[in-house]
Chain A
C-alpha cells in the first residue's frame, strides 16, 4: 500500500519501491471496492426499509411509554452510523491505494516523490470525505428530524464547519504542490 516506507536515499525512490507499492495498492483496492459497495447497499436498504415499511407501521405504538417510531429511528441511526464508519474506513484505504497506484503508474517515470503523493492523497481524501458525509447526511436528516426537529439543523451546522476545515486541508495540500511547481518554473525561467 502507499504507506510503505520509501527507501532512505534522497531524491526519487527506487524501481523496487514503486513495484512494491503498486502491488500492495492493487491488493488493497481489490479488497476495499467490494466492501464499499456492500456498505453503500446496506445503508440504502436500511434507510428504505425503515422509511417505507417499519416506521409507518410503528406509528401509534408505544413501548412502556416511549413511542416506537423514535426507538426504531434510534436503532436505524445507529445502524446507518456503523455502515457509514465502515464506508469511510474503506474509502480511506481505497484512496490511499489509488494514490499509490497513480504515483507508480503515472508518476514513476517522472520521479514523483512520496511527499508529492502524500499531498495528492490528502487532497483526494478530503474531497471524497466531504462528498460522502454530505450524501450520508441526506440519509440521516429525516431520521434526525424524527428524534428532534432541531437535531438535523445542528448536525448540518457541524458538517458545514467540518467541511470548511476539510476543504481548507485539500486546498493547502494542492497549494503546496502549486508553490513547488511555480518555484521550479521560476528557477528555470531565471536560468
Chain B
C-alpha cells in the first residue's frame, strides 16, 4: 500500500474514533446515548468496552501515523 493511502486510512480511523467520543459525546449526547441503547447489552458494559476500545484505537492509529512518518523522514534523510 502506498504511503499516502496508509496515512489517509489511519487518519480517517483516528478522526472517526475521536469525533465519536469527543464531538458526539459532548455536543450531541442524545445521539451518543442512542447508539448504546440500540445494542443488546447493559449500557455500562457497552460503554466500558466502547471507551477502552476507543482509547486503544486512538493510541494505535496515532502511533502508527507517527511511526510511518518517522520511517519516511529517516529514509529521506538517508537518501539526502
Give the size range of A's interface with the partner: 20 to 34
Known contacts A34-B74, A38-B70: does B52 contact A72 (CB below 8 Å)?
A: yes
Asked if A159 is an interface residue, CB under 8 A from chain B, the answer is: no
Asked if A41 is an interface residue, CB under 8 A from chain B, the answer is: yes
Do A68 and B21 touch across chains, with their CB atoms under 8 A apart? no
Asked if B39 is an interface residue, CB under 8 A from chain A, the answer is: no
Do A63 and B45 touch across chains, with their CB atoms under 8 A apart? yes
Do B21 and A45 touch across chains, with their CB atoms under 8 A apart? no
State how many residues of chain B have any CB contact under 8 Å with chain A: 23
Which listed residue (B45, B58, B66) contacts A38, Cβ 8 A? B66
CB interface residues, B 20-78, toward A, < 8 Å: 21-22, 25-26, 44-45, 47-48, 51-52, 54-55, 58-59, 62-63, 66-67, 70-71, 73-74
What's the minimum C-beta distance from B34 to chain A, rounded to whole angstroms? 16
Do A68 and B47 touch across chains, with their CB atoms under 8 A apart? yes
Do B55 and A63 touch across chains, with their CB atoms under 8 A apart? no
Residues of B within 8 A of A (CB): 18, 21-22, 25-26, 44-45, 47-48, 51-52, 54-55, 58-59, 62-63, 66-67, 70-71, 73-74
Known contacts A42-B63, A49-B58: does B70 contact A58 (CB below 8 Å)?
A: no
Interface centre among B25, B54, B55 (most CB of A within 10 A): B55
Residues of B contacting A76 in the complex (Cβ-Cβ under 8 angstroms): 55
Bound form: Cα–Cα A72–B49 in Å: 11
Residues of A within 8 A of B (CB): 30, 34, 37-38, 41-42, 45-46, 49-50, 53-54, 57-58, 61-63, 68, 71-72, 75-76, 79
Bound form: Cα–Cα A38–B45 in Å: 33
Known contacts A34-B74, A38-B67, A63-B45: does B59 contact A46 (CB below 8 Å)?
A: yes
Beyond contacts A53-B22, A54-B54: 15 other A-B pairs, Cβ-Cβ < 8 A, are A38-B66, A42-B59, A42-B66, A45-B62, A53-B21, A57-B25, A57-B26, A57-B51, A61-B44, A63-B48, A68-B51, A72-B51, A75-B52, A75-B55, A76-B55
